[in-house]
Amino acid sequence: MNRSLYLIRRSSSVCQLAHLQARKLYSPITMAQLSTDAVAHASAVTGNSDQKTTTWHGAGAAEFDLRSDTMTKPTPSMLEAICQTTLLDDVFNEDPVTNELQGYVAEITKHEASLLVLSGTMGNQVAIRSHLAQPPHSVLCDHRSHIICYEAGGVSAWTGATVSPVIPQNGVHLTLEDIKKHAVLSDNIHYCPTKLISLENTLDGMVMPLAEARRIVEWAHANDIKVHLDGARLWEAVVAGAGTLPEYTSIFDSVSLCFSKGLGAPIGSIIVGSEEFIKKARWFRKSIGGGARQTGVIAAAARVALTETFGTDPRGQTGKLAATHEKAKRVADLWTSRGGKLQCPLHTNMVWLDLEASGVGPNDLAEIGQQKGLRLLGGRVVVHYQVSDEAIARLEQVFDAALKGDFKRSEDTSKPYGSK
């Protein structure tokens, strides 16, 4: 079939589907209530084997991209959900699919309410701003935290808060003892009082144990300090067996969760908390331009990602993430069996290679990988659910070349840019 004619017919079919959905007058529906006829029709439009495939089909470049778990590609089932979604205005709190997603996430995390945001950074910044009133106040966090290293200085710029970074003594995660040493509880005017603790799980792929998180939160609450969790990759900690999703999320005052890291949605994160907190967060989200309109197109894909990739059980064992942890173990074994050293312990889907200790330059793997059709970034290898066995086989060849010295070392000794 002529490509232009195919696209016209395909677009017409999708428009017809949208018209059928519009005739329902956007009554409050859940994803489970969407018409099976519409699903079948959308499947025919997007997945008919007799038609040419679209860019939504297959893993594409994501199959060989191990730079981050943000490199996943949206799937045909996400497109199907987008084709069926409602298109009402979320600023007016009227979009059924968005509201259903928010209600579902609040329920599974054991919080009163939740709020869809456009990114993990927006989620963290809105949450932190919603917790803080006015200076003097400080936010205590791990020195490697996303909120201090990768969010453009937003906490200080937007809240006026001092950010107090703490180096964990165990090198893996913060403990209550670390927190106590650095938290400011007194009213001594020389110091900036700690009003919020922001934890991160996972952090660099490493898990903060549930028991330690509970210790910190209980102590913080006893001292009138709020605790936020940057849980962009909390899904991974849960799948690794560290605890159930509600066991983690329910203890915090607020949690941000990401749909596009690991889960594979094209866009979106969500924050959970009390009704009062979310009401305030909606206000601050609006103030920074996060009050999107027809958010059903975002929420529909996010709902599919949550259901298919994490799963429907609180331990995440019915989704696709567990397999990424097994592949990450294979990657670590391939590296260490050749004499390579690891920089961090392997807990989930992130493998941190100690390049310097292994005699490899900071940009060598990226250059060798490019020759093998892989995209790599420094010493961090991130296995997402679309990374194939073929990609792991090519990575083995990269490790061979790098560790045997069969490669001219890169003259670029700059630290590679890190994508969280």
At 269 the pLDDT is 98
Task: Looking at the structure, tell me whether residues 298 and 349 fall in a common domain.
Answer: no
Domain boundary among 243, 278, 310: 310
Distance of CA 239 to the CA centre of its chain: 14
What is the pLDDT confidence band of residue 411, given thresholds at 50, 70 and 90? confident
Give the integer Cα–Cα distance in Å for 23 and 84. 12
Task: Looking at the structure, tell me whether residues 144 and 217 fall in a common domain.
Answer: yes
At 222 the pLDDT is 98
What is the pLDDT confidence band of residue 225, given thresholds at 50, 70 and 90? very high
Q: Above pLDDT 90, what percent of the chain?
A: 81
Task: Looking at the structure, tell me whether residues 119 and 160 fall in a common domain.
Answer: yes
| C-alpha Rg value of the chain to the nearest Å | 23
Segment 268-321, tens digit of pLDDT: 999 999 999 999 999 999 999 999 999 999 999 999 999 999 999 999 999 999
Task: Looking at the structure, tell me whether residues 234 and 269 fall in a common domain.
Answer: yes
Segment 322-341, tens digit of pLDDT: 999 999 999 999 999 999 99
* CA quadruple 107, 69, 346, 344: dihedral, nearest 10: -120
Task: Looking at the structure, tell me whether residues 130 and 161 fall in a common domain.
Answer: yes
Give the domain extent around 219. 76-310
Is residue 15 scored above 90 in pLDDT? no
| Residue 250, in any domain of the structure | yes
Report the SS3 class of residue 293: coil
| Residue 345, in any domain of the structure | yes
At 53 the pLDDT is 75
Segment 77-127, tens digit of pLDDT: 999 999 999 999 999 999 999 999 999 999 999 999 999 999 999 999 999
Helix pair 120-131, 275-287: axis angle to 10 deg: 120
Domain count, the chain: 2
At 32 the pLDDT is 43
Report the SS3 class of residue 144: coil
Task: Looking at the structure, tell me whether residues 387 and 274 fall in a common domain.
Answer: no
Is residue 399 scored above 60 in pLDDT? yes
The residue assigned the tokens 């699903």 is 39
What is the pLDDT confidence band of residue 51, given thresholds at 50, 70 and 90? low
At 24 the pLDDT is 37
Q: Above pLDDT 70, what percent of the chain?
A: 87
> What one-character-per-residue DSSP string does 159-198 give?
H-PEEEEE--TTSSS--HHHHHHH---S--TTSPPEEEEE
Task: Looking at the structure, tell me whether residues 290 and 198 fall in a common domain.
Answer: yes
Report the SS3 class of residue 366: helix
Q: What is the pTM of this model?
A: 0.88
> What one-character-per-residue DSSP string does 383-395 give?
--TT--HHHHHHH
What is the pLDDT confidence band of residue 29, given thresholds at 50, 70 and 90? very low
What is the pLDDT confidence band of residue 20, given thresholds at 50, 70 and 90? very low
Among candidates 131, 68, 414, which has minimal Cα distance to 280?
131
At 417 the pLDDT is 61
Q: Which residues contact 103 (CB under 8 A, 6 or more apart)?
A: 114
Give the integer Cα–Cα distance in Å for 330 and 312. 27
